[in-house]
A and B are shown apart, each in its own frame.
Chain A
Amino acid sequence: MAQGRVHLKGIYKRFGNFIALKHIDLDIQPVEFFALLGPSGSGKTTTLRMIAGLDTPDEGVIEVDGEDVTFAPPADRDIAMVFQNYALYPHMTVRDNIAFPLKMDKMPKAEIEPAVVRAAERVDIAHLLHRRPGQLSGGQQQRCALARAIVRQPKLFLLDEPLSNLDAQLRLQTRVELKKLQRALNVTAIYVTHDQEEAMTLADRMAVFLEGDILQVGTPDEVFNRPASIAVAAFIGSPPMNLLPATLDGDRLTVSGHSMTLPRAPQHPGGEVTMGVRPSHVRIDPQGLPTRLYLSENLGESALLNLYLGDELVKMRVASFNAGAEGETVPIAFDIDTIHLFESGSGRRIPLAGE
């Protein structure tokens, strides 16, 4: 049963003079948990709203299971959605809120009540059914919105930053719940977030948005370990990887006067490139490049050193808080087999042999 395949082809959207989406292409597979990840204002919600039918693109086609639904109203799309700010019906009790989609589906009254209770139990709010949204905490409202979405068995499940208003503890807990729920319901889920950790842990695949463009589509592993461009590299990871100017000559890479040999040959003629290395892949090496310690940040389990290599800021993760004196010289080296290379001009990833 191929249900819930969403195909966006060349979606273009303008608000006045502002281009919100620049020819987006996406192919989301059935029963996939797909994340739309990107910074604020990058067009994630806009994309989701068009999939829902709450908005229409200026150009492009949206297909669900091969059928053109670009201009179809939401009611014809068989979707459930959790809104960024819940959009609960303020005048209805939690029970009526959850029951509403079923009522609109003309489900017999006798069947509604057990379905509502079941959905409420799944998100642990069965004891709150008589309350109104105004009498709920943020987390409870969020779970009410979730219950309203899962009470039906839709073809598509759309979630717009549904955890953004929860405290850290509840967020972790609900994150796990969500994933289990999606597996149990066996539906396609499209999940908007600006929190990469959320995307990494939840998604089967994800799309990285920036300024109305999709920079990369892939599994979390692909996006994290093989960022397609400087832009993605600069966004993914917390903190994201260090990006330093370097010179490439065959398989020799020179950074700040320090040369190293790459373990795998880059598929590139050589010249000016940008080298990327994650903070956790920088280490102290007495034979390495001399840097000046500018600031050290204590992150609890680890610490982050802010170092200056010439004029370039390099972040380095160290195992424990080791408050070296500011101004102190720290010699560093990079784990050579974790290095990423990008073309300086286009920003494109330079593949290494075997990629």
Chain B
Amino acid sequence: MSSYRRAATRRNIVLMIVASTLLLIWVFPLLWAVIVSLKSESEVLAYPPSVFFEPTGKNYADALFGDFSILSSLWTSTIVATATTVLTIVLAVPAAYAFARLRLPAKKTMGFYTLATQMVPPVGLVIPYFLILNKVGMLDSYEGMIIVYLTFSLPFAIWLMVSYMEDIPFEMEEAAFLDKASRLQTLWHIIIPQVRGGIAVTVIFVFLNAWNEFLFAVQLGGNNVRPVTVAMYNFVSVEQTLWAKLSAAALIAMLPVVVIGIIAQKQIVKGLTVGAVKGGGRR
């Protein structure tokens, strides 16, 4: 074997080692959370941390059914995230079609406006929303929460959908017009089926962002509407942190998004790169 080949092999080995180390940095916190969540509260406090222990499912049982059960919060998050997603798609898809394909008065202005609303930092919205919702008695209500969630999901969804709409060949619509389809029929029968993939990506992003939202949830929610990102905080109190239960609760809360993330990995990466203007949405 020549020295060139040996050098290439050596290089590959070094690459694999470096890459694996870096991989560990990103996997470890999650992995450790899983391990901690399987320990008993006393085992958790062992320092240096123990690696061999009797795994227990008690923390998960407690997180779901114990004193600070997050079960109802999971349901709340599901309602809020689903409703936000549905409403966003219904509003965004037609608007995106008009932006991408149709002659529209003041198109540039509206496009720029949509883009600008996407840049608004959430702290700038949570303050007035608190005052407004307080005045009209809609704090801690589903309606209020969903309206607020539209502020970050709608501009993002419109822009993501526009980039998908732009990819459809014009001939499609023209053929439909020749077949005497109305504009609405064309949108419904020709365009929307074409961008199903784009809609799926948008749904995933909007749902993830709504599920993960924290700032609005903690200030504008309450006992009635308490998304799971807020409910986890019950395991962190001033006197003591219930490490293992917190880990279990957080892992349960993140299970849906992690599953979606892994299944829809390809679509998410596409959304990150296609959305171009501001993929990933607002956190």
Contacts and interface: CB of A to CB of B under 8 A. Distances in A.
Direct A–B contact present (CB less than 8 angstroms) = yes
Interface of A: 56, 68, 70-73
Contacts of B8: 71
A73 B3 CA distance: 11
B276 to A, nearest CB: 19
A306 to B, nearest CB: 41
Interface string B6-20: 001000000000000
Nearest to A68: B2
Contacts of A73: 4
Contacts of A68: 2
A71 B5 CA distance: 6
11 contacts: A56-B5, A68-B2, A70-B2, A70-B4, A71-B2, A71-B4, A71-B5, A71-B8, A72-B2, A72-B4, A73-B4
A19 B233 CA distance: 61
Interface string B143-162: 00000000000000000000
Nearest to B7: A71
Looking at chain B's contact residues, the main secondary structure is helix
Interface string B175-201: 000000000000000000000000000
A337 to B, nearest CB: 52
Contacts of A71: 2, 4-5, 8
Contacts of B2: 68, 70-72
B5 to A, nearest CB: 5
Contacts of B5: 56, 71
Contacts of A56: 5
A70 B4 CA distance: 9
Contacts of B4: 70-73
Interface residues of B, number: 4
A68 B2 CA distance: 9
Contacts of A72: 2, 4
Interface in B1-59: 2, 4-5, 8
A57 to B, nearest CB: 11
A328 to B, nearest CB: 48
A195 to B, nearest CB: 35
Given A72-B4, A73-B4, 9 more contacts: A56-B5, A68-B2, A70-B2, A70-B4, A71-B2, A71-B4, A71-B5, A71-B8, A72-B2
Contacts of A70: 2, 4
A165 B8 CA distance: 36
Sorted nearest first, the 7 A-B pairs with minimum C-beta distance are A71-B4, A71-B5, A71-B2, A72-B4, A70-B2, A68-B2, A73-B4
Nearest to B5: A71
A68 B3 CA distance: 11
A185 to B, nearest CB: 28
A180 to B, nearest CB: 36
Query: Which of A56, A70, A71 counts the most chain B CB atoms within 10 A?
Result: A71
A56 B7 CA distance: 14
A72 B4 CA distance: 6
Nearest to A71: B4
Nearest to B8: A71
B148 to A, nearest CB: 44
B185 to A, nearest CB: 40
A70 B2 CA distance: 8
Nearest to A70: B2
Nearest to A56: B5
A73 B5 CA distance: 10
A73 B8 CA distance: 10
A182 B5 CA distance: 33
A333 B5 CA distance: 60
A70 B5 CA distance: 9
B10 to A, nearest CB: 13
Nearest to A61: B2
A71 B10 CA distance: 14
A73 B4 CA distance: 8
A56 B1 CA distance: 12
A140 to B, nearest CB: 30
A56 B5 CA distance: 10
A188 to B, nearest CB: 22
A68 B5 CA distance: 12
A67 to B, nearest CB: 11
A72 to B, nearest CB: 6
B248 to A, nearest CB: 45
B55 to A, nearest CB: 42
B6 to A, nearest CB: 9
Nearest to A72: B4
Nearest to B1: A71
B88 to A, nearest CB: 38
B54 to A, nearest CB: 47
Nearest to B6: A71
B38 to A, nearest CB: 42
A182 B251 CA distance: 69
Nearest to B2: A71
A110 to B, nearest CB: 35
B77 to A, nearest CB: 47
B21 to A, nearest CB: 27
A71 B2 CA distance: 7
A73 B11 CA distance: 14
A181 to B, nearest CB: 31
Nearest to A53: B4
A69 to B, nearest CB: 9
Interface in B206-230: none
A70 B8 CA distance: 13
